[in-house]
């Protein structure tokens, strides 16, 4: 899942460019600094690469100093923004079917995230997980866009019938948290997902709601076109990079190989084999990332050694101390003291 070959539709970033222009920023200069030609944003069937996305997010933050533009961008995305898939969503018989359709063809919206739709007896869940390696800033930016835009579209489809529901996100409470009050009746739970991603929990009554523009013939045409587009969309890359990102961005403990295999609909053996073909081993990746996170937390100085041990998934501080000393040659306490003296 390498960023180098993954391309995504640029039409959504035209919304971001409009937001920047309305606020008086030089959009062409920002795009140029990010290595993006204006035609890559506004041209027909325009796409950008993941490295360009990461550069764009970094440049927007640098120039504007604002952290709420992903929120604004998400609010500006409507079903019609998804072109033929959006047409299929609008002509679906129910919200339930529209959610199934969106999940099936989510690759056409963005290849950076995967959407799952899980329906139970009383509730239905929309789940989103990143499936390409993204920088921390780009990951949070895109996840906020995904969550906010999905809420706005669900709200638009359900109308006044939408009652209070819960959205769980992996990112911490943002600086623009007061803006989230504008997303009522959604109730947000920040930092509540252990792995990068989000989960939206809706009542069955909401997703069972009929849609006013339902049209079986139009829907059939839209699905056929989406299927053709999906066949044309290819994605290849390094699973090692994605596994590293998921371990790096996990909030509580460290996900197991089985946890990650479930996210990509693979068996543990298949995922392990794929890593092996790339010259990687899960245990080695996990060990390296865990040590890097330990060093960062120790340098931060906000948590005790015991708290760090439990946050990284160790059963007790003694196991953490032994592992850290084995990897770095000194104890966690000595590592922290050496950084304080530096």
pLDDT digits (tens, 9 = 90+) for 221-269: 999 999 888 877 644 457 888 888 888 888 777 889 999 888 877 899 9
Q: What is the mean pLDDT of residues 5-14?
A: 85
> Does position 8 have pLDDT exceeding 60, yes or no?
yes
> Does position 2 have pLDDT exceeding 50, yes or no?
no
The pLDDT, as a whole number, for residue 5 is 57
Q: How confident is the model at residue 51 (pLDDT cuts 50, 70, 90)?
A: very high
Name the average pLDDT for the chain: 90
% of the chain surpassing 70 pLDDT = 95
pLDDT digits (tens, 9 = 90+) for 185-210: 999 999 999 899 999 999 999 999 99
Stronger pLDDT, 313 or 189, i.e. the higher one: 189
CATH class of the domain at 239-341:
mainly alpha
Domain boundaries, the chain: 6-64, 67-236, 239-341
SS (H, E, C) the chain: CCCCCCEEECHHHHHHHHHHHHCCCCHHHHHHHCCCCHHHHHCCCCEEEHHHHHHHHHHHHHHHCCCCHHHHHHHCCCHHHHCHHHHHHHCCCEHHHHHHHHHHCHHHCCCCEEEEEEECCCEEEEEEEECCCCCHHHHHHHHHHHHHHHHHHHHHHHHHHCCCEEEEECCCCCCCHHHHHHHCCEEEECCCCCCCCEEEEEEHHHHCCECCCCCHHHHHHHHHHHHHHHHHCCCCCCHHHHHHHHHHHCCCCCCCHHHHHHHCCCCHHHHHHHHHHCCCCHHHHHHHHHHHHHHHHHHHCCCCHHHHHHHCCCCCHHHHHHHHHHHHCCCHHHHHHHHHHC
């Amino acid at each position: 899942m390498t960023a180098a070959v993954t391309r995504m539709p640029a039409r959504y970033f035209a919304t971001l460019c409009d937001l920047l222009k309305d606020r008086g920023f030089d959009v062409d200069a920002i795009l140029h600094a990010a290595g993006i030609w204006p035609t890559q944003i506004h041209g027909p069937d325009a796409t950008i690469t993941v490295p360009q996305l990461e550069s764009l997010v970094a440049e927007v933050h640098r120039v504007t100093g604002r952290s709420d533009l992903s929120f604004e961008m998400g609010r500006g995305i409507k079903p019609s923004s998804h072109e033929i898939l959006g047409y299929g969503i609008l002509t679906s018989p129910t919200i339930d079917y529209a959610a199934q359709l969106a999940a099936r063809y989510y690759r056409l919206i963005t290849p950076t995230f995967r959407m799952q739709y899980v329906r139970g007896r009383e509730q239905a869940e929309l789940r989103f997980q990143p499936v390409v390696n993204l920088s921390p800033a780009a990951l949070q930016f895109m996840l906020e866009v995904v969550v906010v835009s999905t809420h706005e579209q669900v709200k638009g489809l359900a109308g006044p019938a939408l009652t209070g529901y819960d959205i769980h996100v992996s990112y911490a409470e943002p600086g623009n948290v007061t803006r989230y009050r504008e997303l009522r009746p959604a109730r947000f739970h920040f930092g509540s997902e252990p792995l990068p991603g989000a989960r939206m929990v809706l009542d069955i009554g909401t997703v069972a709601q009929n849609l006013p523009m339902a049209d079986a013939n139009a829907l059939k045409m839209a699905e056929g076109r989406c299927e053709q587009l999906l066949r044309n969309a290819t994605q290849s890359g390094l699973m090692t990079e994605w596994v590293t990102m998921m371990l790096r961005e996990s909030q509580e403990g460290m996900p197991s190989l089985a946890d990650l295999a479930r996210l990509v609909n693979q068996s543990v053996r298949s995922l392990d084999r794929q890593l092996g073909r790339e010259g990687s081993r899960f245990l080695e990746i996990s060990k390296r990332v865990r040590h890097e996170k330990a060093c960062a937390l120790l340098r931060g100085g906000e948590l005790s050694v015991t708290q760090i041990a439990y946050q990284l998934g160790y059963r007790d501080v003694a196991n953490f101390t032994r592992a850290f000393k084995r990897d770095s040659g000194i104890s966690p306490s000595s590592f922290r003291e050496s950084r304080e003296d530096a």
